[in-house]
Chain A
Amino acid sequence: MNAEPKAIGHASLAGTEASELVRAFWDFITHEYGTRVIAKANAVEMKLAAQALGLMGVLSAEAFLRDYTTTIGRRIYVPFEPGCEDGGWSLWGQLAVCVHEHQHVEQLDRDGWLKFAGKYLLSSAGRAAYEAEAYRCDMELHFWRTGEVLDPRSLAAKLKHYACASTDIEVAEKALTMSAATVRRGGVVNRASQKAIAWLNVHAPTFKEHA
């Protein structure tokens, strides 16, 4: 299970062609991984989770339903319609969160349900490690698009929303700093990013903002 807040700071893609490409990208990735996209606002289980989080004081129910994409197993609950710029989710943000969430599916397949769910739900260090790996997708996609590397500290700081201990956030920042050294040399580590970038190179090279 994972809940990912919407990305910020990306220059926007726009136009019908970009919308169709983002929709096609989601179709490609969900077909590759056998995942299903579900509208978060209509899912009873997400409404219940939102109320529980609200009652616990972790996050307001409205924010959870509006600002976070959530993955449970192979079900991806999204607060937007892929390809439609609504609710403050940019097209690039939709694309980036798609890759991030599917890296969690990679983790699930690699480690198995028991280990993945146990580590993610019960261990601050485990959750921070899984998220740091998934945030590397954001870094790899951003580098593909802009030729710049996202700040490891800013990415790791997002883990405050995941109830991770401060030491685990520092370790995650270190792991992302190590990843940054590889990403700035053009290396792509995560499998979800590798699939995404291969598709983007063929179908959406115009999304690149640099030569």
Chain B
Amino acid sequence: MREVFFLLAFLTPQLCSCVPVCETKETRCNGALVEVCDSNGQWQQVMDCAEVTDPEGLAWSCCPAREGDAGVVHACLPAAECSGGER
């Protein structure tokens, strides 16, 4: 029984990571994290807005941004630009 438990404990995270939870290339904000959905249907971190630096020392937040032909994607933007936007 104990062996079965250990086997399940080992396999569960592997199985969970095989079940798609998002659509490939979808993007989102997860708090300050900017994420993209990878080819396995799993969320993958692209940026942590808390770690962004700039010459003016602005605060950065995750929010949607229009990026040319690519349309709307999520990205780290200066917090002032984010306010009022869709999260």
Contact = CB atoms under 8 A, between A and B. Distances in A.
Interface of A: 124-125, 129, 132-133, 152, 165, 167-168, 170-171, 174-175, 177-182, 185-189, 191, 194
Given A152-B70, A189-B51, 6 more contacts: A129-B38, A167-B39, A174-B73, A177-B73, A178-B67, A182-B76
A182 B52 contact: yes
Contacts of A191: 51
Given A170-B25, A188-B53, A175 B46 contact: yes
Given A167-B24, A168-B38, A171-B39, A185 B47 contact: no
A185 B27 contact: no
Interface of B: 24-25, 27, 34, 36-40, 44, 46-48, 51-56, 60, 65, 67, 70, 73-78, 81
B40 A125 contact: yes
A20 B52 CA distance: 30
A114 B48 CA distance: 23
Contacts of B39: 124-125, 165, 167-168, 171
A178 B53 contact: no
Majority secondary structure, A binding face: helix
Contact of A174 (B25, B40, B51, B53): B25
A185 B53 contact: no
Contacts of A194: 53
A205 B27 CA distance: 36
A182 B36 contact: no
| Best-surrounded residue of A132, A174, A179 (most CB of chain B within 10 A) | A174
Majority secondary structure, B binding face: strand
A208 to B, nearest CB: 12
Given A171-B38, A187-B76, A179 B81 contact: no
Contact of B67 (A168, A170, A171, A180): A180
Contacts of B77: 181-182, 185, 187
Contacts of A125: 38-40, 44
A191 B51 CA distance: 8
Contacts of B36: 171, 174-175, 178
Contacts of B25: 170-171, 174
A178 B48 CA distance: 12
A129 B38 CA distance: 9
Contacts of B51: 189, 191
B73 A182 contact: no
| Best-surrounded residue of A168, A170, A179, A194 (most CB of chain B within 10 A) | A179
B34 A178 contact: yes
A188 B55 CA distance: 9
13 contacts: A124-B39, A129-B44, A132-B46, A133-B46, A171-B24, A177-B70, A177-B73, A178-B36, A178-B46, A178-B74, A185-B77, A188-B53, A189-B52
